[in-house]
Amino acid sequence: SHLNINPNVKLLKVATDPTFVPFESQTINGNLEGFDIDLMNAIAKVAKFAVEFESLPFDGMISSLQAHRVDAAISGITITAQRLKTISFSRPYFKAGLAIAVRQDNQDIKDFNSLKGKKIAVQIGSTGADFAKTIPNAKISTFNSGPDFFQDLLNGHVDAVVSDAFATLYAIKNGKLKGIKVVENLLTEEYYGIATPKNSPHLDAINKGIATLLSNGTYKQIYQKWFNA
């Protein structure tokens, strides 16, 4: 394609799970958009490599990196000690955390302790799923993509969703999730990083790219586009 015209420009295959507004989602025309997409494209521009995105389910992303099927993944991926055993991460690029979401009329779920014994929906392979395992007697349902677990919450099939606060708050604020509220914002403190196969040769360029965007104002511009609109 047009990306390959200059043979000296390295083409990186970057995985993303575009079910996570406003970090990555797919427009009706099938184009990818979001904070992560803009950030990755901006990094590529300053670091002088080309990017080809590949949509993958979130749950398969880490094994795809381990198998070197992709060069990197950007997908609101939380840097965790567990994941660092098998893959590498760039420097953190976003401060995040988990939140509890319930139906607007719910009165009894207010905090971590009130989740005991409740039916909880999470995304497979996410930090929300790990967190839910620590709730005593919780009945956990797992979903492949973000929007589906909110549907189950609205339908009354589950009592709560544990997932990334920014994405949940954004969806509520933009009217796509009518009837849902967040009861406890930031149960955890997490940082997103760009994931790569272990000790990838591209990490250095990615990290330098992030540093450049932080210092030249581009990071701030992208942040404002998606979060202060």
Binding site for ligand ARG (CB under 6 A): 17, 19-20, 24, 58, 75-78, 123, 126-127, 146, 164
The least distance separating ligand ARG from the CB of residue 126, rounded to whole angstroms, comes to 3
- Measured from the CB atom, the residue of 26 and 212 that comes closer to ligand ARG is 26
Q: Distance between CA atoms of 38 and 218, rounded to whole angstroms? A: 10
Q: Which is nearer to ligand ARG, 77 or 153 (CB)?
A: 77
- Supply the minimum distance, in Å, between the C-beta of residue 162 and ligand ARG: 10
Q: Are 2 and 51 in contact (CB under 8 A)?
A: no
Q: Please, what is the minimum distance in Å from the beta carbon of residue 2 to ligand ARG?
A: 27
Q: Which one, 97 or 212, has the nearer CB to ligand ARG?
A: 97
- Least distance (Å) from ligand ARG to the CB of residue 161? 12
Calpha distance 225→229 (Å, rounded): 6
Q: Are 123 and 163 spatial neighbours (Cβ–Cβ below 8 Å)?
A: yes
What is the nearest approach in angstroms of ligand ARG to the Cβ of residue 62? 10
Pick 82 or 137: Cβ nearer ligand ARG:
82
DSSP E strands, 1-155: 11-16, 19-20, 24-26, 32-33, 50-55, 72-73, 87-89, 94-96, 98-103, 119-123, 139-143
Nearer to ligand ARG, 20 or 219 (CB): 20
- The CA distances from residue 206 to 22, 82, 100, 131, 226, in Å, are 21, 22, 32, 29, 21
